[in-house]
Structure 1
Amino acid sequence: MLLKEPRLNFTDVMNRKAQEKGIQLDNDQQRLIRHLETLAETLLRRRAAFAGLYLWGQPGRGKSFIVDSFFAALPLAQKKRAHFHTFFRELHQQLNGQGLDAALLELMGEARLLCFDEFHLHDIGDAMLVKRLIALAIARNVALIFTSNYPPRALLANPLYHDRFVPSIALIERHMTVMALNGPRDYRQQATGHGVFSEGAYLWPASAARRQALGLPDASGAVALTVGHRTLHAASSPGEFLHFTFAGLCEAPTAVMDYLALCEGHERWFLDGVPPLARVSPAAQQRFINLVDVLYDQQRRLFIAAACPLTELVAGVEQEDIARTASRLSQLTTE
């Protein structure tokens, strides 16, 4: 008796999800859903050919919603989803004692589908790692899906490094289907309930009464925390909340790997004294953006005591990723 091949009617899946959320899928979203249904057929029939999708668009247009739904619904065991930051943290750890290809192959494992959320590049070192990742996936017929806020040609926009990444952009455009979701609606701002992250709060004004009502700690002086081989300084002893000042976390030389390591042991984060970002250095702005990315992807509760409303907090910031940060912070309670 022949076993029936698994199938995925992804159009039906997404129509049900859209109905549950009370949203109407736009033309670009429906086109993406049809494309993913075709990709599912390729994967489930084990066709020996590389398939890639590079999906970009403004924050809140449904990229992660649709791709995460596809990943969850696809009846394929050999699949892996990773946030960009998390994957590269693991890759740097694997590089200790072995070559790049061996480290990448170990992380890829037996996966026939790799999904990367919030794909972006600011570092030339990471860009070179991405180039090799794409080449290996093509050679091994491992399907790739990237979601990003940027079209391929806007990756690694820094003119000091961009020319060195142009061959990788050509690789993406040659081997991956590039699609865009840029509808007029930011669903994050219109919907309610975005997981644990949205259970946090944006405090402005950050009155003593509001802080007390939420159980937020007061600063008690620098408290040394060991993170790997580094020492960071919290604003109070860790308890129900991991408490940092903006200056202590974002204006200090911290990194994504620090935030990921701290997420392993802390579910609630309180960032105190956040100023208008236009007043701080670009490096501090980027650390704040990275921190929000990590906490959102790891689904940690974030509480922010700010010196101004959110619109003023992000005004005048020229960092490429600030729109995504503003969209995510808009999900926090402001009452």
Structure 2
Amino acid sequence: METLPQLYDRLTASGELTPDPAQLAALPEFERIRAALDTPAKTGWFRKAPEPPKGLYLWGGVGRGKSMLMDMFVASLDVPSRRVHFHAFMQEIHAGMHAARQKGIEDALAPVAKSVTDELRLLALDEMQITDITDAMIVGRLFEAMFAAGVVVVTTSNRVPDDLYKDGLNRQLFLPFIDKLKQNLVVHELASPKDYRQDRIAGSQTYFTPVNAESRAKIDDIWQSLTGGAAKPHSLIVQKREVLIPAFHNGVARASFYDLCGKPLGPADYLALAEACRVLVLENIPQLSRSNFNEAKRFVTLIDALYEARVKLICSAAAAPEYLYVEGEGTFEFERTASRLREMQSQDWAQG
């Protein structure tokens, strides 16, 4: 059986991967779990089931290869396992709880947690980040049920565990979950100085105007490079509402101007989007004026959220930033947005 370090060496030797010391340092943790799960259980009347291995909480900056390592690890397993983005997983949990309540089940989480623990020996959650109080209150009981059932959890995050749900409402109620997480998962930092996601678009144009077949083709090329064509629709739950991202993969999102600014979304929605993605491909930004003033206001709010979260923006627009909004109420305020759009085009901006 090929170990994960051996597989990594083979892929780097073939040129499919670039060797990275930080990634190599994380591989023994994955291999520890793989080997433990691969050990056959002893049989017999009085044989105790083996203790499950500790899981793994792999954290570090964006684009360092956390998701790639987790995908490699899950693909190597021969036990019932699942790899899912954390936001998508929590959406499924909420949907399951809603269905349970419809059936009159008082403790709606219990059957949902049981369905997870009955099906899996390992759950791999990509990009754990908790910004919603409802999620914060659910994950404690959910993870406790998984740990009690012997399900091994592996997760990636951009944040150290102690920073999860930072400054959140009633955060003191969430702290026992952090303690439980650190008891059951080995915390390992992937401290690579290299951002491979940024490398894939380094030096590339990020603002395309006008919107035409040529700009669409260039954006398609960037999207293919970032996602490998593996994206699918993804929903964020914000204050019990669903915000749909038409295409999403490993922290890279793609949407049209209408998807995000033509609908009645607000600051909380854009903050959740900025938390969920590290790169946003935003297409078909139109000329803005008093005729679409509400959409323009939402666009300003969206850019502010992306800017503060240092999300990399790749977009197509009807005009250069300074000429997107040239008449009507709010032209003065839009100057800041135009300036931010210019700043966000710099090659090293999102790395700051």
The AA in structure 2 aligned to 1:111 is L
Query: For 2:194 and 2:121, how far apart are their aligned partners in 1?
Result: 33
Which residue pairs with 1:85 in the alignment?
87
CA distance in 1, matches of 2:54, 2:147: 8
CA separation in 2, counterparts of 1:25 and 1:203?
Answer: 27
Question: Structure 1's 36 and 331: CA in aligned 2 closer, same or farther, altered over 3 A?
Answer: farther
CA deviations on 1:124-166 (whole Å, 9 max, x unpaired) are 2101211112211211111100100000100001253321111
Closer/same/farther in 2, CA of residues 136 and 8 from structure 1, 3 Å limit: farther
Does 1:25 find its partner at 2:11? no
Aligned position for 1:134: 143
**Per-residue deviation, 1:314:** 6.6
User: Offset at 1:303?
Assistant: 3.4
CA distance 1:214–1:94, change in 2 (3 Å): same
**Distance of aligned partners of 1:18 and 1:305 in 2 relative to their CA distance in 1, 3 Å threshold:** farther
Partner of 1:271: 257
What does the per-residue CA deviation read over 1:194-250, in whole Å, with 9 as the maximum and x for residues that have no partner?
A: xxxxxxx9863531xx4344569xxxxxxxxxxxxxxxxxxxxxxxxxxxxxxxxx9
Alignment partner of 2:212: what SS?
Answer: helix
Q: Which residue of 2 aligns with 1:53?
A: 56
| Larger RCO (CA within 8 A; separation ≥ 6) | 1
Spell out the pairing of 1:1-335 with structure 2 (5 A cutoff). Answer: 7-19=1-13, 20-21=15-16, 23-26=18-21, 28-46=22-40, 47-74=50-77, 76-95=78-97, 96-97=99-100, 98=105, 99-191=108-200, 204-207=207-210, 210-214=211-215, 257-259=242-244, 269-271=255-257, 282-289=267-274, 292=277, 303=283, 305=285, 317-318=307-308, 322-323=309-310, 325-326=311-312, 329=313
- The verdict on how the C-alpha distance between 1:50 and 1:203 changes in structure 2, with shifts beyond 3 A counting, is closer
Measured in 2, the distance between the counterparts of 1:161 and 1:17 equals 46
Q: Give the root-mean-square deviation of aligned CA atoms.
A: 3.9
Post-superposition Cα deviations, 1:79-101, rounded to whole Å, max 9, x if no partner, equal 01111111111111111224202
Structure of larger gyration radius? 2
For these two proteins, the number of residue pairs brought into alignment is: 259
CA distance in 1, matches of 2:307, 2:159: 17
What stretches of structure 2 of length at least 5 have no aligned partner? 41-49, 218-235, 288-302, 317-344, 346-352
Amino acid at match of 1:86: A
Letter in 2 for 1:289: A
Structure 2 SS opposite 1:21: coil
Counterpart Cα distance in 2 of 1:281 and 1:139: 39
SS where residue 128 of structure 2 aligns?
coil
Distance in 2 (CA, whole Å) between partners of 1:331 and 1:64 is: 25
SS at match of 1:61: coil
Post-superposition Cα deviations, 1:55-108, rounded to whole Å, max 9, x if no partner, equal 11110111111111111122x140011111111111111112242021122134
Q: In 2, distance between residues paired with 1:70 and 1:330?
A: 31
TM-score by length of 1: 0.65
- Does the 8 Å contact 1:122/1:158 carry over to 2? no
Normalised TM-score (structure 2): 0.62
